[in-house]
Amino acid sequence: MFVSRNLVTIVMVPSLIGLHWAWDSLQHNKALVSDQERKDLPVVILAAPKQRIPTVSRIYPGFWCMRATTIGGELVPARQHAVSTPWPAAANAVRDMSTGDREAAEPVTVRSTNLNNRDVVLTSLIAGATAGALAKTTIAPLDRTKINFQINKDVPYTFRAALGFLRNTYVREGFLALWRGNSATMARIIPYSAIQFTAHEQWKKILQVDLHSDTEVRRFLAGALAGITSQSLTYPLDLARARMAVTDKYSGYKTLREVFVKIWQCEGPRTLYRGYWATILGVIPYAGTSFFTYDTLKNEYYKRTGDKSPNTVISLTFGAVAGVIGQSSSYPLDIVRRRMQTTGVTAQCADQYLTIGRTLIKIYREEGLIGGFYKGLSMNWIKGPIAVGISFATYDHIKHLLREVIHVREGSSSEQTR
């Protein structure tokens, strides 16, 4: 009970900090133009050849406001500025234009590209679900191999042993057996990934990431809270997937439904959340570090190149780096949660791993620090970068594609209305 109470405290701290920062940000940004006001206002830009200048909007008499648009199409909030002191960047850009460019420049009125929150959430859900499904399906055989070594304390992990497991599975059960448990993975990862990416965008807005001096802390916290949100809503599916991965189709669970029925009847409904706190403690550094690393690398890339949309290879590379750092930071807790999830399922899982404290002590005493808590980490260094790289890159590209489609559709509708 002592451990559980402290775990609740540890998990609640990021949420309380996030809510505090959200409230503080709202109190100090009352001068911002509301979303609806910015959405309904026309945008006036100067179309000058060979010269990019900031977009300036006339809001109402006596005030000017810089209009910045994010990659996803959302307008970045801007503070009011008096006409007597126009935005320095806009003034400098116009001043630096040559006389010929200023003569060639013409005011052009264009439609606002701001997406409403419904479209933002919908595109994030679709892109996140697709990204998660593609990434997990790609590395499913490696994932099943890793889980089998994680839960079996009597078999030491080596790369040759991992290849032997894959070969024996193929010979005994066939090629598709390498993806055994992937249906449970899809049932979990599609809602998990969709919720995680969508929650991450929403938490970034609430915490106002990149608008404060402590951006790095807020960026990490947004990722951690997104991981907590998605993991909490889909945890029973993660447990079911782990149990299917460590059993074969002859002596284990035949379907995802059978996993839930047997657990409910034989072990009780509380078992569906066994290992939950270990998972949450692991997802805080994992999701926080992964999102922090990926967003930081993208931000640095933009500062150096001016390109907000890296190509696929660059996105995959950034995602791979984020995956290595994120999974390495939380791997020992991944071992703990897998042992707790699969307790009593097979002969190799007969030991009772019922609490985090007991599991940590038992693994350390019987298998040591490196051999116990980092067992199979090299396999994670292969599959992790592949999965996370595919996930981040796919999400970004599909999200941008869907939002461009929405802009084109809305533009066509407005033209027809005219």
User: Where do the domains of the chain lie?
Assistant: 117-274+336-410
Using CA atoms, how far apart are residues 157 and 371, in angstroms rounded to an integer? 8
What's residue 3's pLDDT? 38
- Is 0.85 topped by the overall pTM? no
Whole-number percent of the chain with pLDDT over 90: 29
Say whether pLDDT at 72 is over 80.
no
pLDDT band at 249, cuts 50/70/90? low
What's residue 287's pLDDT? 95
What's residue 347's pLDDT? 55
3-state class (DSSP) for residue 47: strand
Average pLDDT, the chain: 75
Q: Which two tokens stand for residue 232?
A: 């909490």
Question: Average of pLDDT values for 401-414?
Answer: 81
Q: Which of 305, 334, 109, 70 is nearest to 205 (CA)?
A: 70
Say whether pLDDT at 190 is over 90.
yes
Comparing 121-130, 140-149, 330-339, which segment has the lowest mean pLDDT?
A: 140-149
User: For every residue of 269-288, which 3-state class applies, written as one string?
Assistant: HHHHHCCHHHHHHHHHHHHH
What's residue 8's pLDDT? 39
Helix (H) or strand (E) holding 44: strand 43-47
Which residues face 108 on adjacent strands? 45
Selecting from 2.40.30.10, 1.20.120.1200, 1.50.40.10, 3.20.20.70, what CATH number does the domain 117-274+336-410 have?
Answer: 1.50.40.10
Q: Tell me how far the alpha carbon of residue 246 is from its chain's centroid.
A: 27
Say whether pLDDT at 101 is over 60.
no
Task: Judge contact between 349 and 246, C-beta under 8 A.
Answer: yes
Say whether pLDDT at 80 is over 70.
no
Q: Tell me how far the alpha carbon of residue 331 is from its chain's centroid.
A: 18
Using CA atoms, how far apart are residues 285 and 223, in angstroms rounded to an integer? 9
Say whether pLDDT at 197 is over 50.
yes
Q: Which two tokens stand for residue 123?
A: 């595109």
Which residues face 76 on adjacent strands? 68
Task: Judge contact between 407 and 111, C-beta under 8 A.
Answer: no
**Cβ neighbours of residue 305 closer than 8 Å, sequence gap 6 or more:** none
pLDDT band at 281, cuts 50/70/90? very high
Using CA atoms, how far apart are residues 254 and 82, in angstroms rounded to an integer? 69
What's residue 401's pLDDT? 93
Using CA atoms, how far apart are residues 280 and 394, in angstroms rounded to an integer? 25
